[in-house]
Structure 1
Amino acid sequence: MNMEAAVFEIRSTDDDGKLTIVGTVPRGLTGYDGCHFDVSLVSTPLSASVRVYEIQPQNWSAFFQDLAANWKGWSGEKKMESLEGHLAVSATSDALGHISLRVKLRDIIPGTADWRAEGSLIVEAGQLERLAGDARKFFG
């Protein structure tokens, strides 16, 4: 069965920043069955990418669905991190309907280096429902 790679993307409303996730996420993964997807972050002047392994990718859908369900805002941070910590996203909201997504990428390359990159993206509360739908299509 030939499955085309899909794309999930979040674009910042206040600059050219974006988070792009590309891959094919199989449906019906159970137990320790997993998948890989490629993540890139552009947040001027930063550009970084990493390959992420995940055994419960649908948790990312639930994370974005939770943000959309609470579009009027929340206190504190809402956080999500991939199994091995290669991708982490924390979300905060303000009283004006702005959502700040702090995105952290990291990679450990055996025998060489451990690197980390992070940047922020701003989205509007009105975008959250679409992002939740896009996440559901991508992650299941």
Structure 2
Amino acid sequence: MTSPTGDLDEQTDVTIHCEDNPSVGVKFCDRFGFDQDSVHYAIEIRAPGLNARVDEVVAWVWDSDLAPFLEELAADYRGWDGERSWQTNDRDLTVSAVFRSGGHIGVTWTLRPWPKATGGWAASVTTWLEAGEQMSSLAADVRHFLAG
């Protein structure tokens, strides 16, 4: 389930809670922009024993962004075979999805700041969402967040 937070006139964060385990979640927050071509934001993931954050994920206007990927997952609510994935241009955020019987989508959110740096780190959580309305709501919330 997703829940936008904040007033309409203020910056809105997006929080995703796993349907199977509410202690697992993802939060899009602290959106800011440097220019007309990009929006920058932070993303946090959490699970029992895990809290991770990347402070500067970049979504480029000219690049395929996350919202259309999530919209495609929502549109395919009847399911698909295999795994689908998307990543930022800098590869610091990767999102992959699988469909399971019963109409649920497992979305794995992987943070990997400085992916080419020696000694870098990576952390992942998987949120399970209902394939229809919850995925559609998530896609709309992320589109709104990225559009500002």
- Please state which band the TM-score falls in when normalised by the shorter chain: 0.7 to 0.9
Tell me, yes or no, if structure 1 residue 53 matches structure 2 residue 58: yes
Match of 2:26 among 19, 23, 39: 19
Q: Which aligned pairs between 1:36-115 and structure 2 lie closer than 5 A?
A: 36-51=40-55, 52-56=57-61, 59-108=65-114, 113-115=119-121
Range moving further from structure 2, 73-82 or 17-26: 17-26
Q: Which amino acid aligns with 2:42?
A: D
Tell me, yes or no, if structure 1 residue 134 matches structure 2 residue 141: yes
The answer to whether the 8 A contact 1:87-1:106 is kept is yes
Q: Which amino acid aligns with 1:55?
A: W
Structure 2 vs 1, CA of residues 63 and 25 (structure 1 numbering), >3 Å: closer, same or farther? farther
TM-superposed deviation, 1:111: 8.3
TM score, norm. by length of structure 1: 0.83
Aligned mates of 1:110, 1:60 — CA distance in 2: 22
TM-superposed deviation, 1:94: 1.1
The answer to whether the 8 A contact 2:67-2:142 is kept is yes
Structure 2 vs 1, CA of residues 119 and 103 (structure 1 numbering), >3 Å: closer, same or farther? same
* Cα shift readout 1:76-110 (whole Å, capped 9, x = no counterpart): 11111111111111000012111111111012299
TM score, norm. by length of structure 2: 0.79
In structure 2, runs of 5+ residues without a counterpart are 1-8
Structure 2 vs 1, CA of residues 110 and 59 (structure 1 numbering), >3 Å: closer, same or farther? closer
* Cα shift readout 1:50-85 (whole Å, capped 9, x = no counterpart): 021221376211011101100111111111111111
Matched position secondary structure for 2:145: helix
Q: Which amino acid aligns with 1:80?
A: W
Aligned mates of 2:99, 2:32 — CA distance in 1: 29
TM-superposed deviation, 1:113: 3.7
Match of 1:124 among 103, 125, 130: 130
Q: How many pairs were matched up?
A: 134
TM-superposed deviation, 1:24: 3.2
Identity %: 28
